[in-house]
Amino acid sequence: MFARLAFVLAALAPCSPWAAAEVLDSAANGFTVKATIPIQAAPEAVYGAFLREIGQWWDPEHTFSGDSHNLSIEEKPMGCFCEKMPKQGFVRHMEVIRLTPGKTIVLSGALGPLQTMAAAGAMTIQISQAARGSTLEATYAVTGYSPAGLNTLAPIVDQVLNLQFTRLKNYVERGDPMPRPNNPKR
C-alpha cells in the first residue's frame, strides 16, 4: 500500500522549471532534501504567506482532511503546524522550534506518511533578500526507520516539498497557487 501512495505522491508533484530541488544525501536511516526557490516578492511577504496564509497555497491533496484551509501555523514557541479534522479531531504535522521573523522558521516533525513510521525531521526555511525579490531555501532532514529504508522515500519527499514551495511562489507572485496553464499552439 505504501508503494502505491508513494507512486501517487510522485505523480502529483511535477518539478518546477524555476526551482532547484535536490536530495542532498540519503541512507537507510534517513535523508536530507533541499529546495531553493526564487520568489519575486519581498522577504516579509513570503514569510507572511508561509506562516499566515498556508491554507491559501498548500496543496489540499497533501492534507488529511482534503482541505488546506484547515491548516494553520502558530507563530510562537512550540507553535503547532496543525490541521483541523471533523468532530474536533486534529493532526499535528510539525512544531515551531525557532523563528526569526521575516527570515527563518525551523519546524520539527514528520510530514504525511512519515508520521506513522519511527521517523523524526527538522525543516529549516530560510528567506533572504535577492536581486529580484527573495530566495526561499527549505532544507528537510529526516531520520528514523522504515523496513524498505528511508532512502527510498527521499525523492518522493523532495518532489512533494518542491510542489508545495512552488505553489507558495505562485501564490505570492500571482495570488494563485496553481501553475499557469500551457497554451497549446493552434
DSSP state of 60: G
**Interatomic CA distance for residues 153 and 29, integer angstroms:** 11
pLDDT at 54 over 80: yes
CATH numeric code, 2-174 = 3.30.530.20
Does the reported pTM lie above 0.85? Answer: yes
**Interatomic CA distance for residues 96 and 82, integer angstroms:** 11
Note the pLDDT of residue 118.
86
Note the pLDDT of residue 19.
61
Q: In the chain, pLDDT over 70 holds for what percent of residues?
A: 87
Note the pLDDT of residue 15.
45
Give residue limits of the domains in the chain: 2-174
Question: Which carries the bigger pLDDT value, residue 181 or residue 159?
Answer: 159
Q: What is the mean pLDDT of the chain?
A: 89
- Residue 99 φ then ψ, to 5°: -150, 125
pLDDT at 91 over 60: yes
**Interatomic CA distance for residues 5 and 88, integer angstroms:** 26
What is the average pLDDT across 92-98? Answer: 98
pLDDT bracket for residue 21 (50, 70, 90) = confident
Note the pLDDT of residue 181.
76
Report the amino acid identity of residue 27.
Answer: A
What is the average pLDDT across 164-169? Answer: 97
C-alpha 36, offset from chain centre: 12
Helix (H) or strand (E) holding 134: strand 133-145
Q: By three-state DSSP, how is residue 118 classified?
A: strand
- Helix residue ranges per DSSP H, 13-119: 43-52, 54-57
